[in-house]
Chain A
Amino acid sequence: MSDVWIPLGEIAHGRSGDKGDHLNIGLIAHRPEWLDLLIDAVTEARLHAWFGPMLKGDAVVYRMNGIGAINCMLHHALEGGGTTSLRLDAQGKSWGQSILRLRVPVNRDEAVALGLPLNAATFDEAGRLAVV
């Protein structure tokens, strides 16, 4: 296993918003050819692990081939939605940025071949789900 763990922000940029009680996080690969890396890195299981008890429903990851992006639908993650949530960020606008800290695994050889920067922010498996 030659996986390394890097911050998601090295692979993608993003924006989040609300759909009722559901949170959507769109993540766009910095380069379209990194879409497969992105899809392998942001699995539904990893979204559940990251959001923990905050995510009360399913996580569904949709693929957007045209722009090299994924859309993550996090169902029932907003404590009733932008209008009833007691959170300061009731609409979940911060999550599309803060998730860019999430460390995700990539295959080292594949990453090098695709020109993904592996630098000081690269960690081994022990650092997973930590943040930079």
Chain B
Amino acid sequence: MDSEDSAPTAERIVRIGGGGGFWGDRVEAPIELLREEPLDYLMIDYLAELTMSIMAKQMARDTDAGWATDLGDWLAIGGMQALHERGVRLVTNAGGANPSACAAAVLDIAESVGWTDCRVAVISGDDILPRIDDLIEGGEGMEHMETRQPLTDSGRSLLAANAYLGAGPIGAALGAGADIVITGRVADPSLLVGCMLHAAGWVERANDLSLDRSSPVDEWAPDSVMSPLNDLAQWTIAGHLIECGSQVCGGNSTDWETMPDLGGLALPVAEVGLHGSVTITRAMHGGGRVDRRTVAEQLVYEISDPTCYITPDVIVDISEVTLTEVAPNRVRMAGAAGTARPERLKVSASLEAGWFASSSLLVPGPDAMDRARATDATLRNRLADTDLDIRSELIGAGMTLPPGIDPSWHVSEPTEVMLRWAVVGDDRDEVIHFSREVAPLVLTGPGGVSGYGARGRPRRQLQHWPTLIERSLIESAVHCDILGIRDVTSTRAGVRLAGTARSALRGRTIRLLGRLHDGLEHRQWTKPFARRIATRVPEVLTIREDAR
């Protein structure tokens, strides 16, 4: 579905949709985008910094879990047919910690809608947890990028460690005929760059020259390409601009007051030229808008030094990038400049860092701040003999202003405040103790304290550990498998519930038993029946222990 650009030098334009920004974004939104917009590719980023460690835990509990199940949800309710009918190729990192299980579920859905020759590529090799000891013994210190502390000095156990892969394997998978590409951890903008390597003939060229897919992708460019690094830079920033879905179309905007229909924001489309032109636009229907201001806010989102935006494919200077409104809801981006890719790849690891819980209470006025401070002091007094790290915030009384600003300058006495605590500690029982001390404040604190919800259950606190690693160590282990329905269904057809439903059911059961178990620990269960359940299912509780 290539459309001719109106620019004087006609450049073939590829239309790439941005189907969402994280695992938990609007599930059905990609279907709307597919039905409304002619697209060549659809990219969806599902992985935030910590998502991988959550998924790694899910996979430890259930070998079919550990990927972004939102993908299965929208593919199963019409998304798969839409991809098939419209010939749109999907590229997504929904595979998370378990790309092959994700691909198997996707192929199940393809089969259920009669797309019998659907080909799904699985890109793996980003997960270095199984190899971590060998890598450290081989001399990789895995030093924290910010503190330079070696990983072995952290004293914490590792839950997940994934390298950010680049666009090469994605392009290669598309070149080998994949309809859907499922990856684990990949640099977000590389999802789009991989599409362009395919669309612009760079993959074909690399195949002709027998270049390895781990070779620098700028070397794949056909001879007609004047500046491969600059084209890669433009594609990379196009990916950066649409990787957060609707956030470039007016979501999270300073201009929220004038943004039409915030409740139904459109998803973005990048119109990308084979030679690096980029126009950001949006689905025709839906709320929000794409203008110079919304695109500029996304350009600066989560960046550091603007002259040095690093992906595995290229290092980009965006300091001279320009944005031009060429038509309503159409912004042209130009001026991204590329230099050679980095020698080392970023690795995102997660460490266990104790237990966390939070809880909050509504504290009314008059004198809401004094009442809240008294309530806070009471709780802290009751937890004085613990080693918990306690953070108290008075929501509604200056919390989003820096602590050095004198509150009397800007806050008149609030009519009420929300008092919120968050605690972290190495001892899970102490965190449970905190959760149990909040509710009594409703009857024992200052008058009118209310709004107590469920007792906050402790969850694992995770520490993010970014580091760098020699790229050849990673790239030599990257695999790309292209699967069809026959590769995954012979052992499973009709035998059991779909993986997503099964893991959801199992998760609910485990959570229920977990609550029973907690009650037993604290002698909450006086009824013989409940005590019997809680004591006589040791194998299930063992599963739960593993899941922690």
Interface-facing stretch out of A22-30, A37-45, A106-114, A117-125: A22-30
A55 to B403 Cα, complex, angstroms: 10
Q: Give which listed residue, A13, A24, A50, A101, contacts B254 with CB less than 8 A.
A: A13
Q: Give which listed residue, B254, B322, B404, B405, contacts A97 with CB less than 8 A.
A: B254
Q: Is B323 an interface residue (CB 8 A)?
A: yes
Considering only residues 219-253 of chain B, those with a C-beta below 8 Å from chain A are: 252
Contact yes or no, B402 A66, CB < 8 A: no
Given that A17-B302, A88-B422, A98-B400 are known contacts, is A131 also in contact with B393, CB under 8 Å in the complex? no
- For residue A131, which residues in chain B have a CB less than 8 angstroms away from its CB? 401, 405, 409-410
**B296, B322, B350, most chain A CB atoms within 10 A:** B296
Contact yes or no, A53 B252, CB < 8 A: no
Contact yes or no, A83 B420, CB < 8 A: no
Contact yes or no, A26 B399, CB < 8 A: no
Number of A-B contacts (CB under 8 A): 148
Q: Is A59 an interface residue (CB 8 A)?
A: no
**A58-96 toward B: CB 8 Å interface, digit per residue (1/0)?**
000011111101010100100011111011110001110
Contact yes or no, A71 B400, CB < 8 A: no
When C-beta atoms are compared, the residue in chain B nearest to A130 turns out to be: B409
A94 to B306 Cα, complex, angstroms: 21
Q: Is A18 an interface residue (CB 8 A)?
A: yes
Q: Is B372 an interface residue (CB 8 A)?
A: no
Considering only residues 352-377 of chain B, those with a C-beta below 8 Å from chain A are: 353, 356, 358
A55 to B402 Cα, complex, angstroms: 9
Q: Nearest Cβ distance between residue B466 and chain A, in whole angstroms?
A: 6
Contact yes or no, B389 A86, CB < 8 A: yes
Q: Is B470 an interface residue (CB 8 A)?
A: no
Q: Give which listed residue, B255, B391, B461, B462, contacts A87 with CB less than 8 A.
A: B391
| Contact-residue size bin, chain B (C-beta under 8 Å from the other chain) | 35 or more
Given that A14-B297, A51-B404 are known contacts, is A81 also in contact with B464, CB under 8 Å in the complex? yes
Q: Is A11 an interface residue (CB 8 A)?
A: no
Q: Give which listed residue, A67, A82, A97, contacts B296 with CB less than 8 A.
A: A67
When C-beta atoms are compared, the residue in chain A nearest to B336 turns out to be: A66
Given that A15-B301, A24-B303, A67-B296 are known contacts, is A86 also in contact with B322, CB under 8 Å in the complex? no
Q: Give which listed residue, A62, A83, A95, A100, contacts B462 with CB less than 8 A.
A: A83
**B373-405 toward A: CB 8 Å interface, digit per residue (1/0)?**
000000000000000011101010001111111
Q: Nearest Cβ distance between residue A125 and chain B, in whole angstroms?
A: 15
Q: Nearest Cβ distance between residue B142 and chain A, in whole angstroms?
A: 15
- For residue A62, which residues in chain B have a CB less than 8 angstroms away from its CB? 305-307, 319
- For residue A65, which residues in chain B have a CB less than 8 angstroms away from its CB? 319-320
| 15 intermolecular pairs with C-beta atoms under 8 Å apart | A19-B302, A19-B304, A20-B466, A26-B301, A53-B403, A62-B305, A62-B319, A67-B299, A69-B300, A83-B50, A83-B463, A84-B461, A89-B399, A93-B252, A98-B401
Chain B residues near A (Cβ < 8 Å) = 49-50, 145-146, 252, 254-255, 292-293, 296-307, 318-323, 335, 350, 353, 356, 358, 389-391, 393, 395, 399-405, 409-410, 420, 422-424, 461-464, 466
Chain A residues near B (Cβ < 8 Å) = 9, 13-15, 17-22, 24, 26-28, 49-55, 62-67, 69, 71, 73, 76, 80-84, 86-89, 93-95, 97-98, 100-101, 129-131
